[in-house]
Amino acid sequence: MSAARETKALTPFEIAARKGKTPLVCLTAYTTPVARLVDAHADIVLVGDSVGMVLHGLPSTLGVTMEMMILHGKAVRRGLDRALMVVDMPFGSYEESPKQAFRNAARLMAETNCAAVKLEGGEPMAETIRFLAARGIPVMAHIGLTPQAVNALGGYRIQGRGADAERIRSDSRAVADAGAFAVVMEKVPEDLARRLTGELAVPTIGIGASPACDGQILVIDDMLGLFGDFRPKFVKRYAELGAAASAAIATYAQEVRERRFPASEHVFGDAPKALPGEIIA
């Protein structure tokens, strides 16, 4: 029997044990080269269903399919060595019943080789999270603003203000009690995020939920300045790669039109010329 490849990837258990310690660094990725870049720095890489909006131009995450998540999950897998890989369960793949959720989560794990799945929803999803966790599927929960429920929530607005805080609190307790190894909290006020982070035994991972959380997650295309359709207040743009790419493309177009590209160094002569130390076959 051949020995299985030794893996040094972080496990859901190790992520859960980081509660209250050095903040967890989490980012999304959807392709192999970006996964490689992120793997060098992040603890968790999420193949988020945000892929539908940032790479496929969909108006929301509602049109994302299992096939899309599997395709991008396989690509990301090839780029990761160290980070924990989590794949989002797309809208419609888990809400019907715990059995439906198990079937699709098991498929995501088998086909992408991810170590955990993420699903959206609080108390109503607790039974499903318990069902999956008890059957060997580590689950990262996602509460607060849950983009798959954009129509029911009436938009992408902040959740848990005033009296609504108790609903988010019940959600957080329900998913943690059900066995989620970490809880993503999206767009909730700072005081609430701090309170829930203090109450839960598992790490909270904030997106628009203040530095009080045990970790942070952002959509990679947002923080690199590649996705410009909207700019939520909680996104810090660490680079402006969209603007840089646009300038590069404009320069290329101009040089082609003016016959300045390709230049002599990009052109093949008739007789091969060897560079110092190079052997031409």
Describe the crossing of helices 165-177 and 126-134 by its angle, rounded to 10 degrees. Answer: 20
Closest among 87, 165, 169 to 122, alpha carbons compared: 169
- The stretch among 11-19, 44-52, 187-195, 229-237 that binds ligand KIV (CB under 6 A) is 44-52
Residue 143 binds ligand KIV, judged by CB under 6 A: no
Close Cβ partners of 221 (under 8 Å, ≥ 6 residues apart) = 28, 54, 55, 227
Minimum distance from residue 28 beta carbon to ligand KIV (Å): 4
Report the site for ligand KIV in 211-230 (rule: CB under 6 A).
Answer: 217, 219
In angstroms, the Cα distances linking 107 to 83, 190, 275 are 21, 36, 51
In angstroms, the Cα distances linking 60 to 142, 146, 275 are 17, 12, 52
Distance CA 35, CA 117 (A): 17
Minimum distance from residue 88 beta carbon to ligand KIV (Å): 5
Q: Which of 39, 43, 49, 171 binds ligand KIV (CB under 6 A)?
A: 49
Tokens standing for residue 142: 């996602």
Build a one-symbol-per-residue string for 71-110: x at contacts with ligand KIV by CB under 6 A, - elsewhere: -----------------x----------------------
Residue 184 binds ligand KIV, judged by CB under 6 A: yes
Q: Which of 15, 28, 68, 175 binds ligand KIV (CB under 6 A)?
A: 28
Residue 188 binds ligand KIV, judged by CB under 6 A: no
Minimum distance from residue 165 beta carbon to ligand KIV (Å): 20
- Give 77 or 142: the residue with its C-beta nearer to ligand KIV: 142
Minimum distance from residue 227 beta carbon to ligand KIV (Å): 11
Closest among 71, 54, 15 to 183, alpha carbons compared: 15
Residue 148 binds ligand KIV, judged by CB under 6 A: no
- Give 50 or 112: the residue with its C-beta nearer to ligand KIV: 50
Three-state DSSP class for residue 234? coil
Residue 207 binds ligand KIV, judged by CB under 6 A: yes
Closest among 141, 222, 233 to 180, alpha carbons compared: 141
Q: Which of 27, 45, 48, 208 binds ligand KIV (CB under 6 A)?
A: 48
Residue 27 binds ligand KIV, judged by CB under 6 A: no
Q: Is 233 exposed, middle or buried (0-12, 13-18, 19+ CB in 10 A)?
A: exposed
Distance CA 21, CA 17 (A): 8
- Give 155 or 276: the residue with its C-beta nearer to ligand KIV: 155
- The stretch among 47-55, 68-76, 92-100, 163-171 that binds ligand KIV (CB under 6 A) is 47-55
Residue 50 binds ligand KIV, judged by CB under 6 A: yes
Distance CA 24, CA 14 (A): 11
Active site residues: 186
Alpha-carbon torsion, ordered 72, 77, 79, 80, to 10 deg: 140
Residues making contact with ligand KIV (CB under 6 A): 28, 46, 48-50, 88, 142, 184, 207, 217, 219
